[in-house]
Amino acid sequence: MNERTEIKNPERSRHSTLINRLETHPLRNLLHEEVHARPPPLLSTPISVSHVVFLADERGLDESFEHVASLAR
């Protein structure tokens, strides 16, 4: 496959549409700049690192939090 080949992925398209509709929190840019203004911590190997992102409305927040917490156990 070369860089000119385009793969149609409906799931990615749906995800992109959802992301474009999200409102940006007013402090997002400030936090982003603060996090990236510092050098990352040095980590020793072997190590396992996870990054989890999820979207939840007020009704699903507690359930989503519990689910993510169970993954960390």
Complete DSSP assignment for 29-63: HHHHHHHHTSPPPP-PSS-----------TTTHHH
Predicted confidence (pLDDT) at residue 14 exceeds the cutoff of 80: no
Average pLDDT over residues 19-44: 85
CB-based contact 36:28 (threshold 8 Å): no
Report the mean per-residue pLDDT for the chain. 77
Report the number of secondary-structure helices (H) and strands (E) in the chain.
3, 0
For residue 45, what pLDDT is reported?
93
Predicted confidence (pLDDT) at residue 18 exceeds the cutoff of 70: no
Average pLDDT over residues 31-42: 89
Q: pTM score, two decimals?
A: 0.39
